[in-house]
Amino acid sequence: MTQDQAKAGFLDKVSWNSDSLVPAIAQDFKSGRVLMMAWMNRESLALTASEGYAVYWSRSRKSLWRKGETSGFMQKVRELRLDCDGDTVLLLIEQEGGIACHTGRSSCFYHLLQEDQWQVSQPVIQDPKAIYK
Amino acid sequence: MTQDQAKAGFLDKVSWNSDSLVPAIAQDFKSGRVLMMAWMNRESLALTASEGYAVYWSRSRKSLWRKGETSGFMQKVRELRLDCDGDTVLLLIEQEGGIACHTGRSSCFYHLLQEDQWQVSQPVIQDPKAIYK
């Protein structure tokens, strides 16, 4: 077994879904807040592990998505975790710029269910027009 | 619009996938730890909201899965959140018994990537044979 094969072994432990993807949850390493969930393919998980920054797979663009490539808000990986049945990845990350969401909010989970309605519960930190120039 | 229709409105805001499911992340309300990810269909999300305890959809059993129905380790819901594009749910929960994982561990995310291998990083709190009698 070559060194590259040994390194890639952890990718074989992942239960990729029928689209060869795995859901990846990004959690802020310091605050513990869950910031977003996106998807990874084999290449993006390998790159995330080797580069130390989150790389997802954009299902809409069908391409690798280096988080922060446009916004600058990269996610430095502190821990990579896999769940019991190998079909979900958890990333403990440092969110550069403090903004994970494309709406300019710190977290994507800003809709809170209250009285049977999703209420916006987090402020916009930076106007997306200023982020995605 | 009837009261029931008004109550069900929040379910229509969810972007259900091609299997009519949405991924649901369970996070411990107090510690902030991410405990597990499972799936919900429309009925399970409605029941989770109305009953105040997490109800998932078991893809393997193709049936509603009231978390804790066998183990007793129910998840009392403190907050229900939806992400920016409506395709992921986040539950802030109190984990009864302190065990979320069917392996008897507190969290399902007990594999930590170290030196290109997934290492078990959490102890078994209770033997699954004692949990699932």
Give per-residue pLDDT as tens, A50-61: 999 999 999 999
Alpha carbons A51 and A96: distance in angstroms, whole number: 15
Task: Using the predicted structure, report yes or no on whether residue A27 has a pLDDT greater than 70.
Answer: yes
Q: Given A31, A83, A116, which is nearest B9 (Cβ)? A: A116
Chain A residues in contact with B6 (beta carbon < 8 A): 116
If you measure CA to CA, which chain A residue comes closest to B31? Answer: A32
pLDDT band at B85 (very low <50, low <70, confident <90, very high): very high
pLDDT band at A6 (very low <50, low <70, confident <90, very high): low
In the chain, the amino acid numbered B44 is: S
Interface probe, candidates A18, A110, A111, chain B, greatest B C-beta count within 10 A: A111
Chain A residues in contact with B113 (beta carbon < 8 A): 10, 49, 79-82
Task: Using the predicted structure, report yes or no on whether residue A3 has a pLDDT greater than 70.
Answer: no
Q: Which residue has the higher pLDDT, A5 or A36?
A: A36
User: What b-and-e string marks burial along A22-35, b requiring 16 or more CB atoms within 10 Å of the CB?
Assistant: bbbbbbbbeeebbb
Interface probe, candidates A40, A113, A117, A119, chain B, greatest B C-beta count within 10 A: A113
Q: Given B10, B111, B116, which is nearest A7 (Cβ)? A: B116
Is B88 near chain A, with CB under 8 Å?
yes
Q: Average pLDDT for residues B94-120, to the nearest whole number?
A: 96
CA atoms B129, B31, A23, B79: torsion sign: positive
CB contact under 8 A, B83 and A109: yes
If you measure CA to CA, which chain A residue comes closest to B84? Answer: A108
CB contact under 8 A, A111 and B79: no
CB contact under 8 A, B109 and A83: yes
In the chain, the amino acid numbered A36 is: M
Contact between A93 and A33 under an 8 Å Cβ cutoff? The reply is: no
CB contact under 8 A, A108 and B34: no
pLDDT band at B1 (very low <50, low <70, confident <90, very high): low
B129 to A44, A61, A86, B57, B60: CA distances (angstroms): 37, 45, 21, 23, 21
Contact between B96 and B68 under an 8 Å Cβ cutoff? The reply is: yes
Query: Which residue has tokens 């379910």?
Result: B11
Question: How do residues B116-130 score in pLDDT, each as one tens digit?
Answer: 999 999 999 999 999
Question: How do residues B59-70 score in pLDDT, each as one tens digit?
Answer: 999 999 999 999
% pLDDT > 90, chain B: 89
Domains along chain A with CATH numbers:
3-101 (3.10.20.810)
